[in-house]
Amino acid sequence: MAEIVANSVLPARREPLSIVTADGLRLVGELATPLDRDPVATMVCLHPLPTHGGMMDSHLFRKSAWRLPALAGIAVLRFNTRGTSSAAGTSEGAFDEGDGEGQDLLAAVRDAVELGLPHTWLVGWSFGTDVVLRHGDVDPVEGAILLSPPLRWTTDDDLERWAASGRRLVALVPELDDYLQPPEARERFARVPQTEVIGVDGAKHLWVGEKYVRIVLDEIAGHLVPGSAPLPDGFDGHMERWNDL
């Protein structure tokens, strides 16, 4: 069994997506699904701030797509929000401070439904958490995982709407985050009683380091597919290595 390391790419079916929003923009995306079985759950990824380098290839989401289909049976749908570029291309439109990005989220959820993907969860990171909290309280979303939520554009009304929905929220908050640390996060998320706030000792906003990547992916897998975490450290099968890390 080979060890899974930072640039390990496990088998999956990876297909480019072209997502069209209600206001007519075409977004660049990718869907990764298990190679040998139907997915048992789905994560729709909302990436960090594109004006500071966030994109669908931001490392936690790329590693989710590399590992979670094979290890946990999770379909990983990631895409560039409007005006955002990655190696896969540039989505049409322009950055809109979390307003227009709500239409991007809704279009991605719609496509997940049309593709027949099961048990949809949203996974936002940094700026992506604000998009989730402002716009993601929609059917058939079952819940959301928030990575390093800054609560920059999220209002108390947004939080109260999530509280009323009953949809689950899981907030992974780094101990050393630059914007929102666990004690304040617990205070802010008290408005949403169903929120599970998980403080992660030693972690920073960008979750750099394989130790923290594993913590994040274990939490995602464990919430979307109960019983699947902790994920294995190795893989007994064909495994490639991405060459730009």
What would the two tokens of residue 168 be?
Answer: 């689950």
Under DSSP, the state recorded for 153 is S
C-alpha distances out from residue 28 to 19, 31, 78, Å: 7, 11, 9
How much helix, strand and coil, in percent to the nearest 5, is found in the chain?
30, 25, 45
pLDDT under 70: residue ranges of the chain = 245
What pLDDT sits at residue 245?
Answer: 54
CATH for 2-241? 3.40.50.1820
| Closest alpha carbon to 199 in 214, 217, 180 | 180
**Is residue 108 a contact partner of residue 19, using CB atoms and an 8 Å limit?**
yes
Are 149 and 186 contacting, i.e. CB atoms less than 8 angstroms apart? no
CB of 9 closer than 8 Å to CB of 17: no
Alpha carbons within 13 angstroms on the beta-carbon side of residue 100 total: 20
From 163, 172, 164, select the one nearest 223 (Cα to Cα).
Answer: 172
User: What is residue 84's predicted lDDT score, i.e. its pLDDT?
Assistant: 98
Residue 59 burial (C-beta neighbours within 10 Å; 0-12, 13-18, 19+): middle
**How far is it, in rounded angstroms, from Cα 173 to Cα 150?**
9
Q: Which pLDDT does position 136 carry in this prediction?
A: 98
Helix (H) or strand (E) holding 104: helix 101-114
Residue located via tokens 């899981």? 170
